Chain A
Amino acid sequence: MAITMKKIFASFLLVSLALSSFVACESEKDFLTEKPKAQFSIDNAYQTSAQVLSTIVAAYSNVASIYYGKANAQQTDELTVFSVFGASGLIINNWNSTGNWSFGGIAGDSINAKQMWDMCYQVNAYANQALYASELESMSWSSDAEKKAIQAEAKFLRGFVYLRLAELFGGVPLVLEYSEELHLDYERATRQQTYEQAIADLLEAYNGLPESPVKGRAGKGAAAICLSEAYLGLAVETNNSSLYTDAAKYAQDCINLHGIMTKRFGVRANSADKGTNLGVPNYLEDGTVYSDLFYKQNPRLAENTEAVWLILGPESYAEASQNSSVIRTMSSRVYWPALRDVTKLRSDLQSGSGEKPWADGKFAPIYGQVNGRGTNIPAIIGSGVPFGGQPTWFSTVQVFDADHNKAADTDDRGKEGVAIRRYYPVTNEAHPYFSKQENDKPYGTSTTWVGFEDLDKENFNTTMEFFPISDKRSPIDAWGMDENTYFSASVFGTALYRDWYMYRSAEAYLLLAEAKFRAGDASGAAAAINVLRNRANATPFTASEVNLQVILDERCRELMYEEDRWATFLRQEPDLWKTRIWSYGAWSYSSSKGTLNPNAKLYPETQQVDASHGGETVPELKWNLWPIPKDYVDLNTDNPEGMKQNPGWE
């Protein structure tokens, strides 16, 4: 019996062991090795040239994420950015991420500076990844030229971000190879070395990039304009005036490759076009060549030679919504005021879901009833949450006055209702403002028009809810809206699809003017500026009238919302730009974190210091460069001296 049992036992044991080894036949090593199926790893990611291009796309996309809104340029003399948007905007008086209202007593942990830094180094890392991948054995290229062109594009992006880093942060660590190894021993290069690295990369890009790139990507002209800017920065940094020649040369190169537009063109310039959009005629009779530059998708037209480097928007609502998670779409509404019933207190209006300015006419008296909004009234419809960037009084009004612009009314770049809208119609007869103003405002119709000076400022927060808009960012009338979104209750018209300029060759004239002026050629500088002024029907400047401040004024008129204002400022002498922030900046923004002082009278009376903060006056700016993100200073434990903070931020 026992013997039989042993046999039975042995056979059962065999069977179960066989069973268990059947499921467990994989060796332990294989069983524990991870083989992800739904994701790539770096080991198997690169085989085709298209994949390298995809890594370049990642870099471009990152540039777009910051520059689509040009939020990094904010709170200078031209724009001020509010709380909600503060996460990506650069708000001087909110530098301290813990929320202290402190214009001068500042910490280096500004989230805004960090985002710019992170964006630049991500672009740098992707450029390095692309360069690394382009040399992999596993790669197949159709031609050597294809490889060279892609490498030139990677170098362009890397050069571009080192230029920005040098301008904004000064000297930064130069990381030129892709590595996943954790380093805590970074060493800042000097600012000069950083500019030089940018120039070295941009020169390679200049030599390798095509003259006519695919729209949305960089070509030779983009490399040229960046080179011009880089040489200007390097010249100021090193006090080496011979470099102005290089700056002028590359500016001129860009101008040669991308002639500026001098005649009306594009979608709203054709007088024979009888079509309409949302009830507004396509043909804008009093449009100008300057305003034509910005209408929806005019930037990408083949005839538009002025575009140097563009960020393209989706062509349609359908394309945008189909790819909403992929395309980094700019929220145009960031630059829209939240136009609502301006007689109400802000606390009444700060609501949650569903609030729309026109909802059953309730919040829309200022531009009329629901059925009225398809007519030729401004299509500025506040956002669900009023956040945004407000142009300063200086940039929308003052810079066009006779003191700054010789003759006040002739400049196309400040043309009311075409380039800038400062007045809004009141179509609701019941509204107290309807009869408040005489019909002495532009477009003298039966409608009452209201501007900032008319508002009841006790009850109304002009900062968020009412300010001028620019044609460059927000449609000046309903024509610019997308009909798919204009009537939709869920997106309520805020989704706009348009192209944005990273660089336009008008800026090359301004770089040229600066290079010439700094090299002592004032008349050359005046000539360069006057190319733009003549186009805009503004009175030309004489050579004696030109100086660096005037060039900064001109940049504001021409490039408002477009240029990276902080980069322009910081690459120049601190005395130059600090006075402008004193004189024109709006830093009445007062809250310690996120909410506005309901009594703030910001616009047009700029420069108010809120007494509720102990009557704090604006202290002197103690710094000349943005702060190195505190995280990276602190993390550099293996070389603490290597990431020394910029003066003024310690």
Chain B
Amino acid sequence: MKSNLLRFAVALFSALAISVGIASAQQNVTVTGTVVDDKGEPVIGAALQVKGTLQGTVTDEYGAYTLETRSNAVLEVSSIGYATQEVAVNGRTKIDITLAEDTTELEETVVIAYGEARSRDFTGAVQQINVSNSPQSMMGFTNPTEILRGNVPGMQVTPPSGVGQAGSMLVRGRRSLGASSNEPLLVVDGLIYKGSMTNIDPNNIESIQVLKDASSLAAYGSQAAQGVIMITTKKGMVGKPNIEFSTTQSFNTPTVKQKYFDAEGYVKLRNARTQNWDNLLDTSFMSDIEKKNWNNGNNPHTTDWFDVATRVGHTQNYNARVSGGSESFNYSFSFGRSIQNGVQVGNNFNRTSINARISSKINKYIEAGLTMDYSGTGSQGASASSDYRVSPLGSVYFDNTGKMRKFPSGDDTTTTNPLWSSDEDSGIERSMESDRTTYNGFLTLKAPWVEGLSYKFNVSYGKNKTENLFFAHEQNFPSMSSGQNEDGYTEYDLASANGSVSYRNSVNWVIDNIITYQRTFGRKHSLNSSLVYTRDSDLNKGFSMGGSNFADFGNTLLGVYGLNNAGTRTVDAGSYTLHNDIGYLVRAMYSYDSRYSVNLSFRRDGSSVFGAKRKWGNFPAVGLAWTLTNEKFMKNNKTFDDLKLKASWGINGSQTLAPYGTLSTVTLGRAGYGMVTGDGLLYSQYVSAIGNPELGWQKTESYNFGAEFAILKRRISGEINGYFSKTTDQIFSRTIPIMGAGVNRQQATMGQINNWGIEANINTLNIQKKDFTWSSNITFNLNRNKLAKLWGGEDEADDWTNEFFIGKSLDTIWWYDQDGVVQEKGKGSLPTTEAGWGNVIDQDGNGVLDNNDKIHLGNSRENFRITWGNTFSYKNLQLYFLINWTAGGHGYALGNNTFAYYTHYGFAYANALDIPYWTPTNKSNTYVSPACTDQEKTWRVYNSYANVRLQNLNLSYNLGKLVKNWGISGARIYVSGSNLFYIAPKWKVSDPESRGRTAGNMMRTYTIGLTISL
């Protein structure tokens, strides 16, 4: 399938390239002229861009410009504060352009659910990010979550945990007790998308909208409460065919290099664990290999496992696109390939994507289009383990043959070589391939007899296939005794060899029927109303099997394809889930005189996952907006160029239930337990879960209040929103008396979580001169959540088991307080705490640590976040950087940083970070003694991860005329860096944002990139 698609793509491209080559043999002209405003004043620094290309220039201090381009080009003229205009060259050489003041900028539309709305009438809170040609498109990003990170007020994006992973997203705070159900709904080109963010090539993205308030979300009813991410992909532009090729090459290193004890430090550490302080002579704990490496002359042979298990990662992105169109037809084809080799040795991922879009206006009344998206991802091999705490005196390889050792110390009593599973000597084969294909089609019909009435039929069909193969050959199970000399292992355990295969298939479709009536009556009444009927369906099937023990068969040469020869063969239970939804939406957006706008919507949703008695739910929403600057009384105001106040209220839902989660189920056969009898093995059958037909959607009711403004001739503009929401009917597995049906858990609804927050997005144009502009974007984000109710009732108690505290945030940290290190036994808060152990506070003084001693130490979420993005343009040079400040204080932004302080780990042989731990002669009050064995009870450190970082930096140069002679119409080269630098005063040893021990979690990335347009 994949190779066919590739072949198809190559053929398609060759054909298009040839045809475009012919078509593009056009004449070039030099166009000159001036750009003035409606008062005749020159517009300085107005940008002229040849549409669909990178070609362009800016006006000088007299508003004049010169531009060389093709005679049939279309110029896009824009300047902040003015409406963007398109001008066709039509062979002219002198074109003067008058820009209208930016009332038309307000005519801009925002993409909303099932349609578009005029920005000036819009009542909700939606953040739009224009991706195409933005600095974000030049960072070498591999999936869309990276674009969103730090760019959307009200949204939190955590960095991905390795290549091929998407970061997790959170819009307007945590609403769910269950951690997994907070991800927003994903919509691509207007249709609910069931693929994942990793399927989407960022190069294909035109813009992203993040819907945040209830009135914008209500159109997605029961699926919307966690926010909606709408991605709009690139389409063909009217004008000449454009062929664009872009590539980025990124090199990654961990943002933090962890330094572990060297050989000497390790020997001291090992002895310190048995309170044999500062002893370099006692080597009785060493294996033979360790002894050999230690006694290597005067120079111990040391391995730095962090170095060994990490590398400079390399990510390559390639994208080619052919697009174009006329008034009646446009097309876009693209082919993308991303090859990602992560920082962790063996952490590899690749993606191939093919996208095609065709749409045609058949006549004045009919428009139809088709899209096809294919995304194939794969990863081969296994990643090196991130446990760098292996003995620095161990050996990675056998000396004589260079084969890899499974156990660096030569015996199987310590940890496995971190590189082992990523190395071919380990006999591990692993591959994970996933293909996703989505076909979308639409048909729009405008009613000829009623102006403004149209009908749109959307259909999307997607297929996802995931194949997971794993095999561990007998080489993965070497006999230790066979590795006694330095040649390597010779004997292997065939009985332990094992493998598995699993397949998952999913098919999903969405059908939307949308009737829109959009019309302006007279000059003052504007109406945009929609009726939507939609169904969607998601079917998942999975099968897996495995086998182990090839002792009888004698070899594993066939690998995973020889599983049938395994001594033990297993077929796991198949899985089948079907999830269907139906939705009705009625929506009306009415605006009077561009002053008062109201948005009313009502969605009624049915879902198969809801209980039999609650299949349907209603989701109303109201939004209001008042544009003050259009009022007569504001005519004379000099301050505001634009001021709009808005408010919205609505109820959204979220489907936190899995299919069949409301039904009673019977477990039987091999899925359950059995027993051996004199008649052989008998299987059991019993009710294992009790259904609850009353279960429905989780409900969020929210209010949003906001203001949009522009001042100082629109040089400062922005939007501020505040919100409050309350989420009820959390679906939760509650304890029930087991006496009834032998089951002691049942899903039920409960609880209330409140969220409030403030977010702002401010754009400023700081300097605008000929050849030089500086503009900034500032976002502010603050969110608080609180568990308002758990079960309900008068005096509810906190749930200590699940750590739910009424009146507290879901992110509260509840743990023992701790005050330095006990310097002398008996002097600590607990008399039993040994010297050198953490001084954990026994709050109630009863001599033991228990839940009564735990206190609320702080909150694991940030206090607030401010980002500051800056763009400097000088002629063809553009510099962009984004600073992201995650603020702590008042107990916020606390993370578990124990790793940076602890030297015991519960493993006697583990090496530790090179830290000045407590010894009787070095009485640290910060770092506990390596002899402290009670990690859980006596040492857990929370530090603030508050940090300021230079998250993104991008310098690009538009080659413009320089490359013209080579037949290239435009080109841009750029260098970028992400996570180049941060300051985190209180955080140690790992990146404050990812806070993981694994090196690959947070990468510093250096990217070079090139975009060429023919």
Binding site for B on A (CB under 8 A): 2, 5-6, 8-9, 12-13, 16-17, 19-20, 23-24, 28, 31-42, 45, 51, 53-55, 57-58, 60-62, 64-65, 98-101, 117-118, 121-126, 129, 173, 175, 178-184, 186, 214-217, 300, 311-315, 318-319, 321-323, 325-328, 345, 347-356, 359-360, 362-363, 370, 488-490, 592-593, 595, 612-614, 631-632, 635-636
Contact B673 A351 (CB under 8 A): no
Once bound together, how far apart are the Cα atoms of A13 and B515, in whole Å? 11
Please indicate the chain B residues that have their CB under 8 angstroms from the CB of A20 in the complex. Answer: 457, 459, 511, 513
Once bound together, how far apart are the Cα atoms of A214 and B682, in whole Å? 12
Interface flags for B639-667 (1: CB within 8 Å of A; 0: not) read 00000000000000000000110111110
Q: Which 5 A-B pairs have the closest CB atoms?
A: A125-B742, A215-B678, A216-B677, A58-B684, A54-B685
Contact A182 B740 (CB under 8 A): yes
Query: Which residue from B413, B449, B573, B580 sits with its C-beta under 8 Å from A351?
Result: B413
> What are 20 A-B contacts with C-beta separation under 8 Å?
A9-B446, A9-B448, A23-B509, A23-B511, A40-B685, A41-B664, A54-B683, A54-B686, A55-B685, A61-B674, A65-B673, A122-B742, A180-B687, A214-B677, A321-B568, A326-B670, A347-B931, A348-B274, A351-B413, A354-B413
Please indicate the chain A residues that have their CB under 8 angstroms from the CB of B285 in the complex. Answer: 348
Please indicate the chain A residues that have their CB under 8 angstroms from the CB of B415 in the complex. Answer: 352-354
Is B848 among interface residues, defined by CB-CB distance under 8 A? yes
Binding site for A on B (CB under 8 A): 273-274, 285, 363-366, 407, 411-416, 443, 445-449, 455, 457, 459, 477, 479-481, 493, 495-496, 509, 511, 513, 535, 549, 567-568, 573-578, 580, 582, 606-610, 615, 659-660, 662-666, 668, 670, 672-679, 681-687, 690-691, 735-744, 746, 800, 832, 847-851, 906-909, 931, 933-934, 936-937
Contact B849 A635 (CB under 8 A): no
Check A57/B576 contact, CB under 8 A, given A32-B582, A179-B741, A325-B670. no
Check A58/B685 contact, CB under 8 A, given A9-B365, A16-B457, A179-B741. yes
Once bound together, how far apart are the Cα atoms of A13 and B444, in whole Å? 10
Query: Which residue from A17, A42, A613, A632 sits with its C-beta under 8 Å from B737?
Result: A632
Contact A215 B677 (CB under 8 A): yes
Once bound together, how far apart are the Cα atoms of A58 and B684, in whole Å? 5
Check A61/B739 contact, CB under 8 A, given A12-B445, A28-B582, A54-B685. no
Closest to B742 in A: A125
Please indicate the chain B residues that have their CB under 8 angstroms from the CB of A16 in the complex. Answer: 443, 445, 455, 457, 513
Please indicate the chain A residues that have their CB under 8 angstroms from the CB of B668 in the complex. Answer: 40, 45, 51, 54
Q: Which of A28, A41, A54, A173 is the most central at the interface, judged by chain B CB atoms within 10 Å of its CB?
A: A54
Contact A8 B742 (CB under 8 A): no
Closest to B905 in A: A352
Once bound together, how far apart are the Cα atoms of A37 and B459, in whole Å? 27
Query: Which residue from B446, B690, B739 sits with its C-beta under 8 Å from A173?
Result: B739
Number of A-B contacts (CB under 8 A): 303
Once bound together, how far apart are the Cα atoms of A65 and B195, in whole Å? 42
Please indicate the chain A residues that have their CB under 8 angstroms from the CB of B672 in the complex. Answer: 58, 61, 326
Closest to A5 in B: B448
Closest to B851 in A: A98
Check A24/B847 contact, CB under 8 A, given A214-B677, A490-B477. no
Please indicate the chain A residues that have their CB under 8 angstroms from the CB of B610 in the complex. Answer: 32
Once bound together, how far apart are the Cα atoms of A182 and B876, in whole Å? 72
Closest to A354 in B: B412
Query: Which residue from B666, B686, B743, B848 sits with its C-beta under 8 Å from A41?
Result: B666
Closest to A63 in B: B675
Contact A632 B674 (CB under 8 A): no
Closest to A30 in B: B580
Please indicate the chain B residues that have their CB under 8 angstroms from the CB of A28 in the complex. Answer: 582, 606
Contact B906 A175 (CB under 8 A): no
Q: Which of A8, A40, A126, A632 is the most central at the interface, judged by chain B CB atoms within 10 Å of its CB?
A: A40
Report the minimal beta-carbon distance from B805 to chain A, rounded to whole angstroms.
16
Report the minimal beta-carbon distance from B556 to chain A, rounded to whole angstroms.
16
Contact B675 A12 (CB under 8 A): no
Report the minimal beta-carbon distance from B707 to chain A, rounded to whole angstroms.
41
Contact B445 A13 (CB under 8 A): yes
Contact B851 A13 (CB under 8 A): no
Contact A351 B908 (CB under 8 A): yes
Contact B673 A328 (CB under 8 A): yes
Contact A631 B735 (CB under 8 A): yes
Please indicate the chain A residues that have their CB under 8 angstroms from the CB of B549 in the complex. Answer: 321
Once bound together, how far apart are the Cα atoms of A370 and B674, in whole Å? 37
Contact B849 A592 (CB under 8 A): yes
Check A32/B615 contact, CB under 8 A, given A124-B742, A215-B677, A347-B273. yes
Contact B906 A36 (CB under 8 A): no
Query: Which residue from A117, A318, A614 sits with its C-beta under 8 Å from B847?
Result: A614
Once bound together, how far apart are the Cα atoms of A348 and B276, in whole Å? 13
Please indicate the chain B residues that have their CB under 8 angstroms from the CB of A632 in the complex. Answer: 737-739
Once bound together, how far apart are the Cα atoms of A300 and B678, in whole Å? 8
Check A355/B413 contact, CB under 8 A, given A40-B665, A179-B740, A592-B849. yes
Closest to A23 in B: B511
Once bound together, how far apart are the Cα atoms of A17 and B457, in whole Å? 9
Report the minimal beta-carbon distance from A315 to chain B, rounded to whole angstroms.
8
Once bound together, how far apart are the Cα atoms of A13 and B666, in whole Å? 47
Q: Which of A12, A34, A318, A593 is the most central at the interface, judged by chain B CB atoms within 10 Å of its CB?
A: A34
Contact A326 B683 (CB under 8 A): yes
Closest to B366 in A: A12
Please indicate the chain B residues that have their CB under 8 angstroms from the CB of A42 in the complex. Answer: 664, 666, 687
Contact A350 B677 (CB under 8 A): no
Extra contacts, 13 of them, besides A313-B676, A348-B274, A354-B413 (Cβ < 8 A), are: A20-B513, A23-B509, A55-B686, A61-B673, A121-B738, A123-B742, A325-B670, A327-B675, A350-B908, A362-B411, A488-B493, A613-B847, A631-B737
Contact A612 B665 (CB under 8 A): no
Once bound together, how far apart are the Cα atoms of A40 and B660, in whole Å? 11
Please indicate the chain A residues that have their CB under 8 angstroms from the CB of B364 in the complex. Answer: 5
Please indicate the chain B residues that have their CB under 8 angstroms from the CB of A122 in the complex. Answer: 738, 742
Report the minimal beta-carbon distance from B517 to chain A, rounded to whole angstroms.
15
Please indicate the chain A residues that have their CB under 8 angstroms from the CB of B609 in the complex. Answer: 34
Report the minimal beta-carbon distance from B422 to chain A, rounded to whole angstroms.
17
Report the minimal beta-carbon distance from B932 to chain A, rounded to whole angstroms.
10
Query: Which residue from A54, A61, A175, A351 sits with its C-beta under 8 Å from B414?
Result: A351
Query: Which residue from B496, B676, B739 sits with its C-beta under 8 Å from A490?
Result: B496
Closest to A612 in B: B832
Contact B690 A180 (CB under 8 A): yes
Contact B481 A370 (CB under 8 A): yes
Please indicate the chain A residues that have their CB under 8 angstroms from the CB of B742 in the complex. Answer: 121-126, 129
Contact B365 A5 (CB under 8 A): yes
Contact A217 B677 (CB under 8 A): yes
Once bound together, how far apart are the Cα atoms of A636 and B738, in whole Å? 11
Contact A57 B675 (CB under 8 A): yes
Once bound together, how far apart are the Cα atoms of A323 and B742, in whole Å? 24
Please indicate the chain A residues that have their CB under 8 angstroms from the CB of B445 in the complex. Answer: 9, 12-13, 16
Once bound together, how far apart are the Cα atoms of A175 and B738, in whole Å? 11
Contact A40 B681 (CB under 8 A): no
Closest to B689 in A: A39
Contact A41 B665 (CB under 8 A): yes
Report the minimal beta-carbon distance from A532 to chain B, rounded to whole angstroms.
27
Contact B675 A351 (CB under 8 A): no
Please indicate the chain B residues that have their CB under 8 angstroms from the CB of A53 in the complex. Answer: 682
Report the minimal beta-carbon distance from A374 to chain B, rounded to whole angstroms.
15
Once bound together, how far apart are the Cα atoms of A511 and B455, in whole Å? 85
Check A125/B448 contact, CB under 8 A, given A8-B365, A61-B684. no
Report the minimal beta-carbon distance from B116 to chain A, rounded to whole angstroms.
21
Once bound together, how far apart are the Cα atoms of A586 and B495, in whole Å? 42
Please indicate the chain A residues that have their CB under 8 angstroms from the CB of B447 in the complex. Answer: 9
Once bound together, how far apart are the Cα atoms of A55 and B690, in whole Å? 16
Contact B678 A216 (CB under 8 A): yes
Check A352/B477 contact, CB under 8 A, given A183-B737, A326-B683, A360-B411. no
Contact B933 A595 (CB under 8 A): yes
Contact A37 B576 (CB under 8 A): yes
Check A351/B666 contact, CB under 8 A, given A23-B509, A54-B684. no
